[in-house]
């Protein structure tokens, strides 16, 4: 941590980025660190490789949209790359950046982080990268403005499962308490993130629950959202965040999976041509003892023990369901 703090204090030009399909932790850290570096007098640029829309529950975050760039700056080779909440160079969505950067600082909480940076601060037991970043910013003497506080609180809130996952530690609650003491309006953030669900997203949820597959004696729940579901629900691509949690919440379910189509667009890693079917898979487990990261890793994905994901190119939902049923039946608890 001290090495990262010293390095950031000395930085004059940084390029900050996070993982593709950014969630509240990734976006919150992106904004918080950007503002912090500006406070320290550095020239800071935020970059996001993802061309998909930012999930609407995070679009209210101050500092978003205004300054995030979708292609690397011309002077990327002269900027220290700082990645937040990003488990590997590939997850940036533009691996070349790490090669180009004179140096990379990697701040993350994914236990499977590949340590692709020159300095790697990986704290696998932390609820969120935002929780780690809060300590870093304090050590840097950065003033936690409302904008920074809200961004960090959002990251902690979503990644700790609203403070309910086992990764939510006493330290997580302490950081949240300090942010709230500093003026963060937690009720307003809760409302923004969880109670402004677009109707189209609710319709998408309705479709996936209606058609879900229950396997392994009720211990595995799988939902599929195809392109036609997006169309019939009138939903765009940013509307899948959090839907998988509804499957894990079902009584008796130990592993939940959401398989959802990606639009035909830029060629993705592993995809032979643009028309090849492409699905993202979100995996969740109900306990620390059920490691879904391994199931994702076997398909070149990754994540955490209880929340992981992978992308499947050229496979039908039925094939993915077969893979999941087989691998999950090997890890679920037999009682």
Please give the Cα distance from 195 to 158 (Å, whole number): 13
Q: In what order do the strands lie in the sheet with 307-313?
A: 213-215, 220-225, 255-261, 278-285, 307-313, 302-303
Alpha-helical (H) ranges within 182-310 are: 186-194, 199-210, 227-233, 245-248, 293-297
311 binds ligand AMP (CB under 6 A): yes
State CA 101 to chain mean position distance.
23
Please give the Cα distance from 241 to 198 (Å, whole number): 12
Query: Which CB atom, from 11 or from 108, has the smaller least distance to ligand AMP?
Result: 108
Number of residues located near ligand AMP, criterion CB under 6 A = 16
Touching ligand AMP, residues 94-123 (CB under 6 A): 110
- Tell me phi and psi for residue 245, to 5 degrees: -60, -30
Touching Mn ion, residues 150-169 (CB under 5 A): 159
Distances (CA, A) of 181 to 143, 144, 178: 13, 11, 5
Residues 83, 59: contact at Cβ < 8 Å?
no
Nearest to 76 by CA among 15, 139, 7: 15
Binds Mn ion by CB under 5 A, chosen from 11, 23, 229, 315:
23
Query: Which CB atom, from 19 or from 79, has the smaller least distance to ligand AMP?
Result: 19
**From Mn ion, ligand AMP, none, which one binds at residue 307 (CB under 5 to 8 Å depending on kind)?**
ligand AMP
The distance of closest approach from Cβ of residue 80 to ligand AMP in the complex, given in angstroms and rounded to an integer, is 23
155 binds ligand AMP (CB under 6 A): no
Tell me the window of 15-23, 63-71, 136-144, 166-174 that interacts with ligand AMP (CB under 6 A): 15-23
Binds ligand AMP by CB under 6 A, chosen from 128, 310, 315, 332:
310
User: What track of x and - describes contact with Mn ion for positions 24 through 43 (by CB under 5 A)?
Assistant: -xx-----------------
Query: Which CB atom, from 183 or from 269, has the smaller least distance to ligand AMP?
Result: 269
87 binds ligand AMP (CB under 6 A): yes
282 binds ligand AMP (CB under 6 A): yes
309 binds ligand AMP (CB under 6 A): yes
Residues 311, 267: contact at Cβ < 8 Å?
no
The token pair at 159 is 């990644």
| Residues contributing to the site for Mn ion (CB under 5 A) | 23, 25-26, 85, 128-129, 159
Residues engaged in binding ligand AMP (CB under 6 A): 19, 21, 23, 87, 91, 110, 282, 301-304, 307-311
């Amino acid at each position: 941590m001290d090495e990262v703090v010293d390095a950031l204090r000395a930085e004059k030009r940084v390029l900050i980025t996070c993982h593709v399909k950014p969630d509240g932790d990734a976006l919150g850290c992106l904004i918080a660190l950007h503002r912090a570096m500006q406070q320290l007098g550095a020239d800071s640029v935020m970059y996001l490789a993802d061309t998909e829309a930012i999930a609407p529950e995070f679009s209210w975050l101050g500092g978003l949209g205004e300054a995030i760039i979708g292609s690397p700056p011309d002077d990327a080779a002269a900027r220290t790359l700082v990645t937040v909440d990003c488990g590997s160079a590939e997850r940036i969505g533009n691996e070349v950046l790490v090669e180009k950067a004179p140096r990379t600082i990697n701040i993350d909480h994914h236990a499977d982080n590949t340590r692709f940076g020159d300095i790697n601060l990986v704290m696998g037991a932390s609820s969120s990268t935002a929780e780690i970043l809060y300590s870093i910013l304090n050590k840097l003497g950065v003033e936690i403005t409302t904008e920074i506080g809200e961004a960090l609180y959002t990251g902690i809130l979503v990644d700790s499962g609203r403070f309910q996952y086992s990764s939510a530690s006493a330290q997580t609650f302490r950081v949240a308490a300090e942010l709230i003491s500093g003026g963060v309006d937690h009720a307003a953030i809760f409302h923004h993130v969880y109670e402004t669900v677009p109707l189209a997203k609710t319709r998408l949820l309705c479709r996936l629950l209606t058609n879900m597959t229950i396997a392994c004696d009720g211990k595995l729940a799988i939902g599929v959202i195809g392109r036609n579901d997006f169309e019939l629900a009138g939903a765009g691509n940013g509307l899948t965040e959090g839907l998988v949690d509804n499957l894990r919440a079902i009584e008796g379910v130990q592993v939940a999976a959401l398989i959802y189509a990606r639009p035909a667009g830029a060629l993705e890693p592993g995809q032979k041509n643009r028309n090849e079917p492409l699905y993202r898979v979100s995996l969740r487990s109900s306990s620390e003892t059920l490691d879904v990261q391994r199931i994702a890793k076997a398909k070149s994905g990754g994540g955490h023990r209880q929340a992981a994901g992978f992308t499947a190119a050229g496979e039908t939902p039925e094939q993915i369901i077969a893979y999941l049923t087989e691998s999950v039946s090997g890890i679920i608890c037999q009682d």
